[in-house]
Structures are given as structure tokens and as C-alpha cells.
A and B are shown apart, each in its own frame.
Chain A
Amino acid sequence: MSSTAPQLRSRLPHVAPRGAQAALERARLSVVPRRRTRAPRVPFVTFVTIILLGGVVGLLLFNTSMQQASFRATALEQQATDLGAQQEALEMEIQALREGDRVARAAQRLGMVIPSTPAGVLDLATGQVKGTPTPATATDSIPLSMPGPRRPPELDPDPVRVKAEADPGLSGAPTRNR
């Protein structure tokens, strides 16, 4: 059953006016060959190629940039370590400068001593000085360096004292070797 057109035609009366005949003739449908539309291929191929290429190149760039970032990360980490070490070195320097003995020595060179009596306390409400402030004196100075090592007695014998007999025949001057 391909088409209903022949049946329709057969049912039409054979005796028909001419005008109608012509109209009928005009109205008759016939199968036309399927129209083949040829879509242009070029844009599609281009599109796909671009996508593919874009993808590959993008991936490559992405990968490269990640590699670059990795290099940079390594370099920055190294830099951070170096700077950290530098900071530590500087902090150690500050610590050395702030060491109690060093500061006290510098202060003592300027003639300062730590007073051995309490200072007066100024009462801000009344403006009075409480306590009995006394000036510090040079006797308040304290030792600023640790003593040397204590040697065991074997290495640190008591000095041997010899009582010299006065010999009237000798003068105090050393005799010279002639």
C-alpha cells in the first residue's frame, strides 16, 4: 500500500466537465523524488578539529603550566627554607644582643649599676613618694661573668712557700752571665 491516489482517481466520475477535468488534473498528486540537501561539511570538520586541537593543546598547556607551577613551588619552598634560616639567624643575633650579661656589661661601662635598695613608689593619686629611695652606689655592682673552671686539687696545688734565708753576701741584683 504505497499510495491512495489511484483509488481516489478511480472513484471519480468519468463524466466530468472539462474545467473540472483540468482542475482535477492540477490537483493530482504525484510522488516527487526526495530532495537531497547536502549540508556543508567544512564547518563541521573545522569545528571538530578545533575542539580536538583545542583540547589537546589546552591539556598540554595545562600540563605545562602545572609543571611550571611545580618548578616554582620547589623554588619557592627552597626560598622559604632559606628565608626561614635567615630569620632564625637574625633572631639568634637579637637574642645574643639581648643577653643579660651583655646588656649589663654595656650598662656598667656607662657607669650604671643596679641599685640594691628598693626605689620609692610614686602614688599617682596623692602625688606622694612612698618608701625610702636611696641612690645606688658603685658598691652595688654585681659580677657579670661566670668564674672559670674549678681545677681538681692535683692540678691546682697550693703554692709552695719557701722562707728565703737572707744572705748578706749577695745583693738583690741578679748576677749576669758574662
Chain B
Amino acid sequence: MHIGFLVIAMVLSVFAARLVQLQGIDPKSYAQMAAAEGSERVTLPATRGEILDRNGEPLAESVDGRMIVADPALTAKLAPELATFLSDRLGVDYFETLERLRIEGSRFQYVARQVPASKAEKVVADAAEKFKDDEDRPFAGLFTERDPLRIYPNADVAANVLGFLGTPKDDGTAQALAGLEDSFDRYLSGKDGEARYEVGAGNQIPLGDNTVTPAVDGRDLRTTIDRDLQWYTQSVLQQTVERSGGESGIAVIMDSRTGDILSLADYPTYDASDPYEFKDETLYKSAALTDVYEPGSVEKVLTISSLVDAGLAFKEQRFRVPGKLHRQDRPIGDYWDHGTIRLTLAGVLAKSSNVGTVLAADQFRRGQLRKYLTRFGLGQRTGLGLGGETKGILPGGADWTSQVEDRIAFGQSLSVNAIQMIAAVNTIANGGVRVDPSLIQGKALTDDGATVGSEAATSRRVISEEAARETMLMMERVVDPDAGVAPRAAVPGYRVAGKTGTAQRVGDTCACYDGSTSVSFAGFAPADDPRFTIYVVVHDPRRGSGGGSVAGPAFSKLMSYTLRRYGVPPTGERPNQTPVEW
């Protein structure tokens, strides 16, 4: 009897000791272990927002993707057959896959990444079925894991603007490498959520613990780009650059009234859905924003409109233009040889005379031109929302000498990016009011903390409405078949105002003008009620090409297409006939 009690007491003390151990010493870790045993934690991935064009067509979208992973311990035996199967189905490299399937001492090898979910699951299921073992059990050497996939359905269309996502980081988060994807990464990504619940045999236990923190999806980014127009612009630009033997080119189409960038094309560009195809990292940008060049004669539009606004010139004003103008350091000449000719101000613009422009610009008081150019937006970032934008170079202070002013008056000795330039020319189209160009509809926050977009765009008056109109009338003479230098920029049936540019280019190797040029054409239509402003630039075309012969026809094509696409009827007015000579 006593012995019985003793035994019971001993057993109970053992229990008590264990109880103290469990409850007294670090009870939490045991509770956690218990909770972890039967509970599952699942990351609820946030879907990355889409990038859309102005009509809601997707330019970049996220789909559910998978990585296919092999366990070499199980795949080594069947490696050749599996590698054949996988290279057939997934298009992966046979030899590399074979090697990976055979790696010793590893239990985790990527076979393919970012495969669309449905395809990946099907491949793995088919492999499980096909490579059954002797006992008829499905093959377990391949499995999938989540690996979000970003697709760019339009390949190279707007790739320069969109950028792309590189291979995801190890924790599965996206790695934005260029363009809008990069500058709006935080806006687009959203925040992953998490679900924790108790499971039994793979199913959720109905009344068990269950906490869900829902994922916050990324927001969609709606751009002002018009997908189809962008496609056409890229094609026309490519054709223009290739036919002229150029090195690169830029074409931008802007809504004159709102400042929306409808199309922003760069050439050469890359395929956003396969960015590593050529591995040329210099292409992963929009040269229209990141690269500077000297605008050349297109800038004369700004000089002359400023003169008109300041009341220092008018379109029929008469100039005697000599063949060469000897100024302090070196003579200024025109692109064509001539003796002294008699041009009106309209003629100076229409024939693109450097000498005439410098003579007209002599009227400016000191610092006046620079103030106007700053108001036109030169020397400042346009704030489109894309990273890496350059400010351009507008000399100031001691650098602004009278020789520099002479050259700036006709577009040399200053550097711009293409967006700055189109926004400046658009000021004339928009009746003297400069609107900020925008690439984002509505507004959105960049990762740098700047709010950009059409709702955040501001506008300011640079020149008077009358000055803008008078400049437009002079620009219209540029495309006149007799008076102007760019008849091929004309659009049949419509009034078009524009300006050519052929600028000397600073070479890549020497810091000097190496004889290569940048040819361009900027203009708008219908001239008497402007709807679109288009700017085309081709860098380093064959010698002897000019803005009128290379960029002009491209402008005409793009303008025709845009007017047709947006159903803009001709105004029915006839072009003005301001005299260019006297």
C-alpha cells in the first residue's frame, strides 16, 4: 500500500517537474513551436500596378508567374530525358539544363524563371506524369515557386519610356531597372500582405486561428502615350534614321493645348519584353530626356518670337543680310553662299539665315534674350517623371558673352533636350503660354517624392498672344514651296507652321564640332488652330542632309497620321503670304 503511494508520488513529481519546465522556463518558445506546427504562413503578394496608355491599353502588366526548380538529388538519374523534355517545352538551353539537373550536393536548382503560371504548372504536372517511378508514383523532382512576371505586350513600343523589370531579387520583389518602372517603383509596387491560419492535411481548419493582412495592390499608372501613335512614330523614326544614314533619332508628339506627350520615340531602342537580347545598356533610357544637343535653327523661333514680344521687330521688318558677318572671334555665315540679300524678318526665318537672325537679335538689351529663353523653359528640367533627365546647358553669368549671345540667337552654344525644345516651340502653338509637358495622366508620386502628371502641370505666359500669332505666320512661310526651306514638311490640305534645324554637333571623341550635324524639324498644325506639335531630330545623318530634307518628311507623315487619327478637319484657310524678300 505504502509502496503504491510512493510510486504514485514519484510519478506525479516527474510530471510536476516537466510542468515547471514547460510552463516556468521559457513557455513562449514552446507555445510558438506548437503554433508553428499546425499553422501556415502565406505571403499574399501584392499585384504590381499596370502601366497603361491614354486609352487604357496595357503597356506593361503583371501576370502570375512561376519559377521551375529542380531537385538534383532526384533528377540526376533522369537528367538527359528531363533536359530534352524541358528544352522542348520551355525553350531552355539543353546543355545548361542538363548540367543543372546533375549538380551534386544541391537540392535546389533553377530550371526556368518567370514562366507564366499556367504553363509552368502544366509542364511540371506533365513531367510528374511522364517520369513516374517503378511503383507508379508521380515524379517529384520538379516543383514550382512563385515568381511574378511582368509582361510588355507591345515589345519595343514605348520601351524607352517604360523601362523594364530585371530578374526579381531573392525575396521575390521586383527589381526595376529603367524608365517609368524605376521612377515610379514605389507607386506601382504596392505592399505584400500575409495570411496565417491553422492547417490540417493541407486544408484550413474551420474554427482555427486565422489572421489575414490583405495585400495592398500597386496603383495603375496611366500615361498620356497613345499606343498606336507611338508604334507608328517609332516606325517612321526608324525609317527616317535608317534612310538618312543617321546614328540616332528622336520624335515627340505633343498635344498643343494640354501639353500631353502623345508619343515619345527614340531610335535605336530595345525590346522591353526581351531587354537582354542585345545587352546594350546604353539603350535603356529615353534619349529625348537624357541626351543634350545643340538645337540649331529651330531655336531661331524662340529668338524671333521674343524679339516680336519685346516690340523690337515685326514680321515685315527689312534686313540687308550680308554673306558673312564679321564679329569678334569668327565670322558668322549662312548655310548657303550668298552676297548681300534683302530679307524680311519672315524671310530670315523662312530661309533660316543665321546672319539675319544675329542682326535682328542685336536689338536685345543685355540679358533680355537669356530671360526669355529661361521663360521658355531652357536650362531647366521639364519634370516629366522619368529619371536621368538633363537640365541642358544655357550659359549664364560670365559665360554669356556677346559672341555667345550671337551664336545662341541661332541655336548654337547652348544645349537642350528634345522635350525642353518641343515644350518651348509649343509655347508658340499655344498662343504664347507655355504648358509643362506631361507623360502621366492625372498625377502620381515618383520615388523621389515629386508629384508629376497632367494635373500637376503648370502653365505660364512667355510671350503675348499677338507675338505668338505673328511668329506662327512667319513659321508658316518655312514650309512654303517657293519661300521656305522645308516644303516637304507640308501636310496637304492643312496649314502648317514649323522650323527646320541643322546644327553642328560636338563629336563623341573631340570636344569640338567634328563636322557631323543634328538635323531637326519642329512644327505644329493646323497653324491657325494648333492641335499637335511635333518635333523630329536625327543625329549625324549623311553629310549634306538638312532639317528640311530629312526631318521634314517625317514630320509631315507623323502630322498627317496624327490629324487623321484624331479626326482634326482642315480649317479651310489658305496659308498666309507674308513677303520674305523686299
Chain A residues in contact with chain B, CB under 8 A?
A: 63, 66-67, 69-71, 73-74, 81-82, 84-86, 88-89, 91-92, 95-96, 98-101, 104, 114-121, 123, 130-132, 134, 142-144, 146-147, 149-150
Contact = CB atoms under 8 A, between A and B. Distances in A.
A142 B64 contact: no
A91 B228 CA distance: 19
A99 B63 contact: no
Given A82-B118, A85-B121, A119-B564, 10 more contacts: A73-B204, A81-B117, A88-B64, A101-B231, A118-B563, A123-B569, A132-B492, A143-B242, A146-B269, A149-B278
Contact of A116 (B155, B157, B205, B556): B556
Given A115-B560, A131-B493, A146-B271, A92 B572 contact: no
The 3 lowest CB-CB distance pairs between A and B, nearest first, are A95-B153, A131-B493, A100-B231
Interface string B205-245: 11100000000000000000001100110011011001000
15 contacts: A69-B206, A71-B203, A85-B121, A88-B117, A89-B118, A101-B155, A104-B235, A115-B560, A118-B560, A120-B493, A121-B569, A130-B569, A144-B235, A146-B238, A146-B268
Contact of A89 (B116, B157, B232, B568): B116
A88 B153 CA distance: 12
Contacts of A88: 63-64, 116-118
B249 to A, nearest CB: 12
Contact of A100 (B157, B557, B560): B157
Nearest to B116: A89
Contacts of B155: 99, 101
Contacts of B581: none
Nearest to A123: B569
Contact of B153 (A82, A98, A116, A146): A98
Interface magnitude class on chain B: 35 or more
Nearest to A86: B118
A100 B228 contact: yes
B156 interface: yes
Contacts of B366: none
Contacts of A73: 204
B272 to A, nearest CB: 12
Task: Count chain B CB atoms within 10 A of each CB in A63, A74, A131, A149 and give the residue with the most.
Answer: A131
B494 interface: yes
Contacts of A121: 567-570
Contacts of A149: 277-278, 280
Nearest to B208: A70
Given A89-B119, A92-B63, A100 B277 contact: no
B235 A143 contact: yes
Given A116-B556, A118-B560, A143-B235, A99 B569 contact: no
B233 to A, nearest CB: 10
A67 B199 CA distance: 11
A88 B63 CA distance: 6
Contacts of A150: 268, 278, 280
A114 B118 contact: no
A82 B560 CA distance: 46
B274 to A, nearest CB: 11
Contact of B151 (A92, A98, A104): A92
Given A89-B116, A149-B278, A99 B154 contact: yes
Contacts of B491: 117-118
Contact of B239 (A74, A85, A142): A142
A132 B492 CA distance: 6
B30 interface: no
Nearest to A149: B278
B494 A118 contact: yes
B202 interface: yes
A131 B494 contact: yes
A101 B568 CA distance: 26
A91 B61 CA distance: 11
A149 B275 CA distance: 12
A44 B124 CA distance: 63
B501 interface: no
Nearest to B202: A74
Nearest to A71: B203
B64 A118 contact: no
Contacts of A130: 493, 569-570, 572
Contacts of A116: 556-557, 560-561
B289 to A, nearest CB: 21
A121 B63 CA distance: 42
B280 A118 contact: no
A89 B65 CA distance: 10
Nearest to B271: A146
B232 A114 contact: yes
Nearest to A102: B155
B88 to A, nearest CB: 19
B58 interface: yes
Contacts of A91: 63
Contact of A84 (B64, B156, B268): B64
Contacts of B277: 149
A96 B61 CA distance: 13
Task: Count chain B CB atoms within 10 A of each CB in A63, A86, A92 and give the residue with the most.
Answer: A92
B121 A82 contact: yes
B204 A70 contact: yes
Task: Count chain A CB atoms within 10 A of each CB in B227, B493, B572 and give the residue with the most.
Answer: B493
A131 B570 contact: yes
B379 to A, nearest CB: 32
Interface string B151-188: 10111110000000000000000000000000000000
A143 B231 CA distance: 11
A84 B564 CA distance: 39
A144 B155 CA distance: 12
B144 to A, nearest CB: 11
B494 A70 contact: no
Contacts of B151: 92, 95
Nearest to A63: B206
Contacts of A132: 492-493
A35 to B, nearest CB: 53
B203 A118 contact: no
Given A92-B151, A99-B153, A66 B572 contact: no
B492 A118 contact: yes
Nearest to A148: B278
Given A131-B569, A147-B238, A70 B492 contact: no
A30 B346 CA distance: 142
B560 A95 contact: no
Nearest to B64: A85
A110 B555 CA distance: 27
